[in-house]
Amino acid sequence: MEEAGLISPRCEELAASRSALAAAPRPSQADYAGDVVSVPSIPDADWADLSIRTVRAYDRNFWYSFDFTWASFGFWGTVFLVSTINRFVEFLKVLRARPATRRRQSSGGWTWIRRQLILSVTFGKHCQEPVGWATLPPRLESCIIFAYLLMSTFMCFPGYDLFDNNEYWATTGAQLARYIADRTAVLSIANVPLLWLFAARNDPLLWLTGFSYASFNRFHRWVARMAFVFALVHSIVWTYDYIYFYGVATYYAAYEEVWWWTGVIATVIMATLLPASVYWLRTKHYDFFLIVHIVLSIIFLITLYFHIQVYEHFFDGFIWPCVAIWSLDRLLCIVRIVYTSVIPLFTKGVKATATFDIRSDIVRLDVTDFFPPNTSISPGLYYYVYLPASLKGWESHPFTLCSWNRSVDSIPVSPAPLASPHSSLDIEAAKKVPALRSRELASAQAVSHSFLIRPYAGFTQRLRDRIVAAHEARGLCEVTVLLEGPYGCRLDLSRYSDVLILAAGSGIVTAISHAHYLLANGRTEVHLTWVVPQRWLVEDVCKNELSAILGGPRLHMTVYLTGKSQEMSEESAASSTIEFHAGRPDIFAVMQQARALQGRLGDYELRHTAGRRCLSGSCGSSVARTWTACGVLR
């Protein structure tokens, strides 16, 4: 008013006199039920108390909702904190442990926790393998997820102050409907930052807590399901409340409001993303799933932002963290690509050498030149591979890096002739490679890095077709690739005296890196059991990646050929280096045999499979990992 040249009146000038206040009517709520008050009035004490209680009940529900969001953040923060402390303690144990103490048995309490909580399956014999159109997580993750779902469900109920003659909603049913709509809205939007946090590849919490990216993905999916349930309840109850008070005509007219129709779109997108993310679709049509997921997620975040603007930026604090997490994650991805691929590509012209063996049905992508010469073997790491020169250059797929010591006398990596699928391969050349002692092996041989890829559909099929076409033209295929990584945790198993590795199919990649690392560092006995359909893949890998260590005194390798009509070659059958069997193995029997062998080699009786003396691990299909976990429990 002062800017317009007017003088604002003072409070004293506007205040009524004592006599005027005394003469003002003091109606009750019943006196003016539904009528417009046209004269200055002072509500009576009961009406004033009722009005104050109405406002407080409405505000109280919101503050309860915000308190519960902090409780949800606190729950996940506690999970992260406990996991980080455990990882730090384990790290200190490894650093401080002497070689002698590293061989001691783990304490009974910790062994029980590992067997019953960390290593065990949730129910029966299913863990991370498909059950219908879904998968079951490990027991520890199941406990965390169940606690989160239980807590989230509980948050919907307490804190409602329901009473008759509420100034906003007269009936307790209408009050409860509105309060539930507001409560679930806040709880739903509070889960959105967690969705982006668990979906990020470059999340620092991954290496702080020791959780795998697969674990965070499972948390991501369950948080998304809970957020959708909240959003669905919010939408249904709000629709009922709106139609009940304002009528159907006003309800349809509300679609002209931006905040209204953007909220509807956001809910519909959430309902679409859930069935579009089932296990079957992710595995069979991953490219389609990824594109749909990214596009709909961006639209969801935009529509959600405009939906909450009805509260004048009050909820923006839940949106901008998502943008920050995504931006930082993309930036770190670019940094990884530039450091790992772009700099070597432009400074040295580095490209990957790709070959395809039609008999073993494996694409070998040699990326040794992307790494410095002194790069050591780090088992457990994986990279996202891009083909920038293809029509879908933005696509990337994760592959485990296979790192191995190349023997001087090993047969060089070369593709089998595509026109002669019946030609014979044997492993005699691999058998004749002289076994080197661990330190000599590590110092004398260069480390090679490659990906062994089983081509299916989509990305891997296009890569295979490109290699086949180039092979027919010039016999060799150099591919321009971009690597994003490394991801995953470096897993050092050298503190165990015996390690049993169960590999299935192309899962031998991880086993190769572990075997080379263990034989070059420490005195660990490695028992490698490989279940594979084709003998061609066995002979191919033995002539290349395993040639430097095959026949060593600390590597015991057993191969199970499961494919039909997979007869072993005479050289393979007569091999003293590898033990061959036909059919599928009894995982429990394999583990018991390894335990018995380890018990004879050790200086005391093995009492706990999950101890430091013997370790069992699996690489490959989810079924193999499940049976391995069950075997550990036995």
**CATH code of the domain containing 568:** 3.40.50.80
| Residue 342 DSSP one-character state | I
- Confidence category of residue 96, pLDDT binned at 50, 70, 90: confident
Upper half-sphere CA count for residue 581 (Cβ side, 13 Å)? 12
pLDDT at 411 over 80: no
Q: What pLDDT, on the 0 to 100 scale, is given for residue 58?
A: 94
Q: What pLDDT, on the 0 to 100 scale, is given for residue 478?
A: 86
Q: What pLDDT, on the 0 to 100 scale, is given for residue 475?
A: 55
Q: What pLDDT, on the 0 to 100 scale, is given for residue 367?
A: 92
Contact of 365 with 481, CB cutoff 8 Å: yes
- Confidence category of residue 606, pLDDT binned at 50, 70, 90: very low
Burial 501-523 (b: 16+ CB within 10 A, else e): bbbbbbbbbbbbbbbbbbbbbbe
Report the number of distinct structural domains present in the chain: 2
Q: Check the CA dihedral 455-457-462-466 and report its sign.
A: positive
Domain end call among 193, 222, 256: 256
DSSP string, 3-53: TTT--PPPHHHHSPPHHHHHHS----TTTTTTPPP-S-----HHHHHHHHH
Of 549-558, 601-610, 617-626, the one with minimum mean pLDDT is: 601-610
pLDDT at 105 over 50: no
| Strand partners for 352 | 479
**Three-state SS at 445:** coil
Q: What is the CB neighbour count within 10 angstroms for residue 8?
A: 9
- Confidence category of residue 19, pLDDT binned at 50, 70, 90: confident
| Amino acid making up residue 69 | T
Please report whether residue 383 resides in a domain: yes
Domain end call among 234, 256, 278: 256
Q: What pLDDT, on the 0 to 100 scale, is given for residue 566?
A: 54
pLDDT at 268 over 90: yes
- Confidence category of residue 130, pLDDT binned at 50, 70, 90: low
Q: How far apart are CA 584 and CA 562, in angstroms?
A: 6
What is the rounded end-to-end Cα distance, in angstroms, of the chain?
A: 83
- Confidence category of residue 107, pLDDT binned at 50, 70, 90: low
pLDDT at 409 over 50: no
Q: Please tell me whether residues 97 and 244 are part of one structural domain.
A: yes
Q: How far apart are CA 481 and CA 342, in angstroms?
A: 9
Please report whether residue 501 resides in a domain: yes
pLDDT at 465 over 60: yes
Mean pLDDT of 538-567: 85
Which tokens go with 175? 């009050």
Largest CA distance in the chain: 117
Q: What is the mean pLDDT of the chain?
A: 80
Which tokens go with 74? 């606190």
Contact of 405 with 347, CB cutoff 8 Å: no
- Confidence category of residue 574, pLDDT binned at 50, 70, 90: very low
Mean pLDDT of 466-475: 71
Please report whether residue 35 resides in a domain: no
Of the candidates 512, 456, 470, 511, the one whose C-alpha atom is nearest the C-alpha of residue 353 is 470
Q: Please tell me whether residues 252 and 358 are part of one structural domain.
A: no
175 versus 594: the higher-pLDDT residue is 175
Please report whether residue 372 resides in a domain: yes
Mean pLDDT of 406-412: 47
| Amino acid making up residue 438 | S
Mean pLDDT of 445-463: 85
Sorted by sequence, the CB contacts under 8 Å of residue 219 that are 6+ apart come out as 141, 144, 145, 194, 198
387: left (phi > 0), else alpha (psi -120 to 50), else beta?
beta
Q: What is the CB neighbour count within 10 angstroms for residue 603?
A: 7
Please report whether residue 454 resides in a domain: yes
Of 44-53, 140-149, 370-379, 600-609, the one with minimum mean pLDDT is: 600-609
553 versus 577: the higher-pLDDT residue is 553
pLDDT in tens, 485-529: 899 888 788 888 888 999 988 889 999 999 999 988 878 889 999
- Confidence category of residue 100, pLDDT binned at 50, 70, 90: very low
Of 11-25, 384-398, 562-576, 615-629, the one with minimum mean pLDDT is: 615-629
Q: Please tell me whether residues 397 and 510 are part of one structural domain.
A: yes
Please report whether residue 287 resides in a domain: no
Q: Please tell me whether residues 130 and 224 are part of one structural domain.
A: yes
Q: Is the pTM of this model over 0.75?
A: yes
- Confidence category of residue 4, pLDDT binned at 50, 70, 90: low
Please report whether residue 163 resides in a domain: yes
- Confidence category of residue 34, pLDDT binned at 50, 70, 90: low
pLDDT at 436 over 50: no
Q: Please tell me whether residues 470 and 601 are part of one structural domain.
A: yes
Residue 561 backbone dihedrals phi, psi, to 5 degrees: -95, 115
Q: Which domain holds residue 601?
A: 337-633
The distance from CA 372 to its chain's CA centroid, rounded to whole angstroms, is 29
Q: What pLDDT, on the 0 to 100 scale, is given for residue 433?
A: 37
What percentage of the chain reaches a pLDDT higher than 70?
75
Which tokens go with 432? 């004749």
How would you class 621 by CB atoms within 10 Å of its CB: exposed for 0-12, middle for 13-18, buried for 19 or more? middle
Domain end call among 197, 231, 256: 256
Q: Please tell me whether residues 368 and 227 are part of one structural domain.
A: no
Mean pLDDT of 79-85: 95
Q: Please tell me whether residues 480 and 627 are part of one structural domain.
A: yes
What percentage of the chain reaches a pLDDT higher than 90?
37
| Amino acid making up residue 226 | M
Q: Please tell me whether residues 208 and 94 are part of one structural domain.
A: yes
Q: What pLDDT, on the 0 to 100 scale, is given for residue 432?
A: 43
Of 106-110, 162-166, 307-311, 390-394, the one with minimum mean pLDDT is: 106-110
DSSP string, 120-157: SBSBTTBSSSEETTEEPPBHHHHHHHHHHHHHHHHTTS
Q: How far apart are CA 351 and CA 344, in angstroms?
A: 9
457: left (phi > 0), else alpha (psi -120 to 50), else beta?
beta
Contact of 125 with 629, CB cutoff 8 Å: no
- Confidence category of residue 392, pLDDT binned at 50, 70, 90: confident
Q: How far apart are CA 418 and CA 431, in angstroms?
A: 25
- Confidence category of residue 64, pLDDT binned at 50, 70, 90: very high
Q: What pLDDT, on the 0 to 100 scale, is given for residue 313?
A: 87
Q: Please tell me whether residues 250 and 348 are part of one structural domain.
A: no
Q: Please tell me whether residues 252 and 351 are part of one structural domain.
A: no
| Cα distances (Å, whole numbers) of residue 21 to 37, 376, 407, 632 | 16, 88, 101, 83
Q: Please tell me whether residues 475 and 384 are part of one structural domain.
A: yes
Contact of 429 with 544, CB cutoff 8 Å: no
Cis ω on the peptide bond leading into residue 373 (within 30° of 0)? no
Please report whether residue 564 resides in a domain: yes
- Confidence category of residue 412, pLDDT binned at 50, 70, 90: very low
